[in-house]
Structure 1
């Protein structure tokens, strides 16, 4: 005991509690991720049932690439369930009762598990997120190639637009590949700098090449200015303006930006800056960035919630009800996070509030429970 009368928790006990908690969380994480991946795999198989090019092997690869992303979505709930399991076993075996009887408070007892949970969240944000982003981006590419056939490949990143679409002007089975630089959204109008369009026939031989100094996306087509048309069998033609038909819309361009899940924690700030400079809304990506920042706090909160609902001594009775209440509270917190995210994406809530409010609400609930348990 120290001079202040506070019992210091022995390092051996701290390591023991931390190891039990960490193993329970990692085991729960592995089990829940496997279950989630199985259901996701079955859904991909269902979507691939009428897609001849989406073979079983490609679906397997696609699912493997999505596993880290699934694990990140499940992590807070895995911390909750793993924590409940670990603390319940410590309580049932009377190890927690002995520690409390020796003068160790709940706050000292929980210090190591909370730090472990926060570290798991921090490692997920800074290390797992980049790996997950690379793999998820590849999975999305495979998904668009084999399960979204006919939607038209479209990518927009770094202020440049790439589009491939059917082009009857290049003959039966012809396609057009459009590359536009310096894409900006001003009000409801999409404007670009230099535009290059390659018109290819069904054998991918060049039919025409169109170069324009600027372009404006309008309903039903592009308006191109200062146009040069190089035909494969004729001299170059110049035009002041021309119209190139397309079914692309400004809304679809907005949606085509790289998914926040396909960008790592480290890449999101730069991408948000690009969006703001181009005039597009960065709300989805800002929300993803703030959610990753809040993940360590959310994991620590889940550990505290787990402790608050599972450290009740068995001799007092009602342990099953407390564990059930813990599970329900975890589900409610999980749903609150999803609802807040939807409000944040729609602009109804500030992004920071949408990302941090669920963790803050869970933290207040956990602290109230532990204060009641310790001092009530």
Structure 2
């Protein structure tokens, strides 16, 4: 094994160890604040026990870890490379003729590999656990109903219904969905009107229903009551607190869908006429995560390989942390522009990582020449 290969393996091992330490530390810290927030929200909910809140916080931990990963790479890389520079190991390696690009190739590859594993393997796990955490959140900490699911082109909705029972709910099932010019129309509709104890009071079968301001307008609707003959088809109005925007926003959150499930769900939203910008942006962000992790590794190298004898090391390390958070702010701004439609989705997801990569490469080129 050559000197460069041996050195690269040693640096990569140190780099990964520090990244994992920072990932565990930062994830634990953020999860602690998340746990405290859940405790605050559960204070007025007697059914939300301490054990349930703990379970919810634990279920959210993998999702938090994926969000924290780029910063763990940045901070872990800075600490690992700074310690190697302070002990003169990197200085001796460069004096021996080993280029910084040679011994940084392995850490950058490891960072991209961690990002790839987070996307391919971590995303399915975190999305499944986060979906369960949101179910518990909706059940114990939030009030009201809301859309349940959009699957296979069929729509399931749940809304409050006080027309027949004080605490009643209405469950709406439609075989077809279309959204045109902000008008939501569902076809082959079945409405199950229940009381507070989930006992069926009446059922409505309609050929179509249109969501208007505060009401569902149902065409050719038959009302079916237990032990009664179905009524004649007629136009029926069902009060509702749903709006088109609320229906769209309440579909499965992009964070609760794995990278493997997102393409099919995006196609389903597009076929149904709903906006898929949030889901497409999240999908592209997951694909760009390996590049972002590799960029953070290069940024950490550019701000941590300055020899201590030159002075200004603390300022250099602080600048590295500031540059990482600046990249985070840029990515969030690009995400907002992407969700508003001002930027193409692919550009909003990939541009921050690509611009950070160019900045890190320029910084390392300057470091190599100095």
Could you say which TM-score interval applies, normalised by the shorter chain?
over 0.9
Shift of 1:54: 1.6
User: Please, which moves more after superposition, 308-317 or 177-186?
Assistant: 177-186
For the pair 1:164 / 2:166, whether they are aligned, the reply is no
Superposed CA offset, 1:168-194 (max 9, x none)? 332333322221221221111101111
Superposed CA offset, 1:48-74 (max 9, x none)? 111222211111111111001101111
- How far, CA to CA, are the matches of 1:294 and 1:198 in structure 2? 44
SS of 1:53's partner is coil
Number of the residue aligned with 2:219: 225
Q: 2:348 aligns with which of 350, 354, 361?
A: 354
- How far, CA to CA, are the matches of 1:111 and 1:146 in structure 2? 49
Q: 2:323 aligns with which of 315, 329, 333?
A: 329
For the pair 1:125 / 2:125, whether they are aligned, the reply is no
For the pair 1:373 / 2:367, whether they are aligned, the reply is yes
For the pair 1:203 / 2:203, whether they are aligned, the reply is no
Number of the residue aligned with 1:154: 147
Q: 2:107 aligns with which of 92, 113, 120?
A: 113
- How far, CA to CA, are the matches of 1:177 and 1:286 in structure 2? 29
| Cα pair 2:59 2:133 within 8 Å, conserved | yes
Query: Normalising by the residue count of structure 2, what TM-score does the alignment of the two structures yield?
Result: 0.97
- Which ranges of structure 1 fall in alignment gaps of 5 or more residues? 1-6
Q: 1:305 aligns with which of 299, 306, 315?
A: 299
| Cα pair 1:8 1:104 within 8 Å, conserved | no
SS of 2:275's partner is coil
| Cα pair 1:191 1:217 within 8 Å, conserved | yes
For 1:6-155, list aligned pairs within 5 A: 9-149=3-143, 151-155=144-148
Number of the residue aligned with 1:4: none
SS of 1:18's partner is helix
CA separation of 1:329/1:202 partners in 2, compared to 1, >3 Å: closer, same or farther? closer
- Which ranges of structure 2 fall in alignment gaps of 5 or more residues? none
- How far, CA to CA, are the matches of 2:169 and 2:289 in structure 1? 44
Query: Normalising by the residue count of structure 1, what TM-score does the alignment of the two structures yield?
Result: 0.95
| Cα pair 2:159 2:242 within 8 Å, conserved | no
- How far, CA to CA, are the matches of 1:187 and 1:197 in structure 2? 25
- How far, CA to CA, are the matches of 2:165 and 2:363 in structure 1? 71
CA separation of 1:256/1:160 partners in 2, compared to 1, >3 Å: closer, same or farther? farther
- How far, CA to CA, are the matches of 1:373 and 1:168 in structure 2? 69
